[in-house]
A and B are shown apart, each in its own frame.
Chain A
Amino acid sequence: MIPKNPKPMIGMLHAPALAGSPSYQGGWNKVLPFILKDAESLTRGGVDALMIENYGDLPFFPDCVPPETVAQLAVLARTVKKTFKLPLGINVLRNDGSAALAIAKASGADFIRVNILTGARLTDQGIIQGKAHELMRFRKKIDASHIQVFADVAVKYSSSLSERTLEAEVEETLHRSGADGLIVSGAGTGKPVDLERLKTVKKMASSTPVWIGSGVTVENIDELSPFADGFIVGSSLKPSLEAPIEEQRVKKLVERLRRGRLI
C-alpha cells in the first residue's frame, strides 16, 4: 500500500530501453541488474517506496504497449518486489494504465501511475484520451481492486485541448474517475511544479493524497512540503537521466525532507 510514513518519498526506477524499442542496444540480461542496483541505492538512501517505469522506450506509444514491454516490465517488477519488499508502483508510458495494472497484479505491486485518467490532452504522442471507464472496470475484472491508481492532473509534456479550470480537472479526476491519489508535475521531467497550482490541487483534493511528480530537489523540498502528501523523485537523484542513481543524493534529499518534517 501507500507508505505509512507522513510525507513518503517514492523513488523512480527508470528502466533503460527495453527489447523492441528503438534505443534498445541488446543485452536484456543487463537490464535487471541495472534496475536492482538503482533499487538498492534508493532503498539504502531511505525512500519509502519504489516505482518502475519504461522510461527508455522513447518515443512512447500513446496507449497500448506491445506484449514484449508488458512481459519485460512484469519480470523486472516481480524481481524488485521480491527483493526489496517496499511498496511498488508501475507506470507504463505514455498512458497504458491497463498494462500497468496487469503488471502490478502479476508482480504483487501496490499502485500505478496514470498520466491521463480522464478528459483529453494534446501530448507529444498526439491526442490522448482518458480511459478511466475501462481502467476501473479492468481493475475489478482482474482482481486488482487493492491496487491504487494515482492520476496526474494536467500532466507534464501535454496541454489542455479546451479551456478547463484546474479545479474542474481535479473534481473530475477524483470524483468521476475514482483516482486514489493525485499527482502534480511541472512542465517536464525534472521541472519544478508551480506552487500556486499545487496549492489549488491540494485544497480541492481534501483527504486524497497529493503527490509532487517532478522537479523535487534538496533546494525546493522545504517550500513544497507543506502542500504535498508525498514526493515522486527520480532525475534529481542522478547526475544524468541515463546514469545510475547515487545513494548519496538519495540520502541528502531524504534527510532534508525528514528535517523539514520535524521543524
Chain B
Amino acid sequence: MIWGMVHVGPLPGTPRYENNFETIVEKAVTEAKLLEKHGCSGILFENMHDVPYLKTFVGPEITAAMAVIGAEIRKETGIPLGVQILAGANRAALSVAHAVGADWIRAEGFVFSHIADEGMIEACAGDLLRFRKELGANNVKIMADIKKKHSSHALTSDVDIVETAKAAEFFGADAVILTGASTGQKASVEELAKVKKAVSVPVLIGSGVTPQNARDYALADGFIVGSSLKVGGDWRNELSSDAVSQIVEAIQLL
C-alpha cells in the first residue's frame, strides 16, 4: 500500500492563508488525481500548511474546509482516501472521514502521551473509538502513529516502541505507523523488524522513504510518502509527477 500525501494549502483562519480557498480546493484535487494516475494506492490529505498547529481541537472553519476538500477529492478519485487533521484533531478528522466517505484517518496521540511541538498530547483511543461508534462510522479505520516524529518521548522512556505498538493494537488501531525524527527523516529499520514481529496489524512507514532507501523497509506493509513526491524531496515544494513515479516504482519492486 502506497499512501501519497496531499498537503492542502493554508486554510481560512490560519496565519498563512492567502484569501484563495477555491484555489486550494482545486489544487488538492489536482494533486490527488496525479497521485492516483502515477500509481499511489491511497491518498491521505492533511492540513499541513496550517502552521503553527492547534492542539487537539480545531475550529469549525477547518472541519468545514477539510470536509469540502475531502468531498471533492472523493468525487474525482477512486482509490482509498484517508484524512489527518493537525495536530491530533482526531475527532474532527473522524467527522470529516465519515462525512465524505473516506476510509482511514491518521491519528497522532492514540496511546500513551508525548510532548509535541504543540505541547502535551495525550492518548485519545478511548474517546475516539466511542465517538466512532456513536457516529456509526466503524468502517473508518485508524492508522495510529507511535512514538511519532516532531515529539519528545522522554515521558515514556521506559516504554519501548514494541510495547507502544502492542498497546496501540490492543486499543484498537487498525495499523501502526513508524516515523523518523521529523517530516522527511527516515524511520529506524531495526524498529521496523521488532515491531513487525510483535503485532499482527499492518505496520506502515510514515516518513523519510526515498527511492534510494525503500529497499531497507521491505518488511513494511505500507508506506506514507509526502516529501519524496515533491521537487527536491522537500514537502513545501510542488508535487512532481516524475518523483511520484520514481518512489512508486521503487516501492513496487519490494
Q: Is the CB of B19 within 8 A of A19?
A: no
> What 18 additional pairs, Cβ within 8 angstroms, besides A28-B98, A103-B60, A144-B12?
A20-B134, A68-B135, A70-B63, A70-B67, A71-B95, A71-B98, A71-B100, A74-B64, A75-B68, A78-B72, A102-B64, A105-B12, A105-B65, A106-B12, A106-B21, A106-B61, A106-B65, A141-B13
Number of interface residues of B (CB under 8 A): 31
A175 to chain B, nearest CB (A): 27
Contact of A74 among B12, B13, B99 (CB under 8 A): B99
Q: Is the CB of A106 within 8 A of B68?
A: yes
For A28, what are the chain B residues with a Cβ–Cβ distance below 8 Å? 98-99, 136
C-alpha spacing A141/B91, complex, angstroms: 23
For B72, what are the chain A residues with a Cβ–Cβ distance below 8 Å? 78
For A70, what are the chain B residues with a Cβ–Cβ distance below 8 Å? 60, 63-64, 67, 95
> Does B22 interact with chain A (Cβ within 8 Å)?
yes
> Does A67 interact with chain B (Cβ within 8 Å)?
yes
* Most chain B CB within a 10 A radius of its CB, from A26, A71, A143: A71
For B167, what are the chain A residues with a Cβ–Cβ distance below 8 Å? none
C-alpha spacing A70/B58, complex, angstroms: 12
For A144, what are the chain B residues with a Cβ–Cβ distance below 8 Å? 12
Binary CB contact string for chain B from 15 to 28 against chain A (1 if under 8 A, 0 otherwise): 00101011000000
The interface of chain B, by Cβ under 8 A from chain A, is 12-13, 17, 19, 21-22, 58-61, 63-68, 71-72, 91-92, 94-96, 98-101, 134-137
Contact of B12 among A24, A73, A96, A143 (CB under 8 A): A143
Q: Is the CB of B96 within 8 A of A71?
A: yes
Contact of B71 among A68, A78, A105, A138 (CB under 8 A): A78
C-alpha spacing A24/B136, complex, angstroms: 10
Q: Is the CB of B136 within 8 A of A75?
A: no
A:105-151 near B, CB below 8 Å: 105-108, 138, 141-144
Q: Are A105 and B99 also in contact (CB < 8 A) when A19-B136, A67-B92, A142-B12 are?
A: no
> Does A99 interact with chain B (Cβ within 8 Å)?
yes
B187 to chain A, nearest CB (A): 30
Number of interface residues of A (CB under 8 A): 33
For B22, what are the chain A residues with a Cβ–Cβ distance below 8 Å? 108
Q: Is the CB of B64 within 8 A of A143?
A: no
B91 to chain A, nearest CB (A): 6
Interchain residue pairs A-B with the least CB separation, the first 7: A102-B60, A71-B99, A106-B64, A74-B67, A67-B95, A68-B95, A74-B64
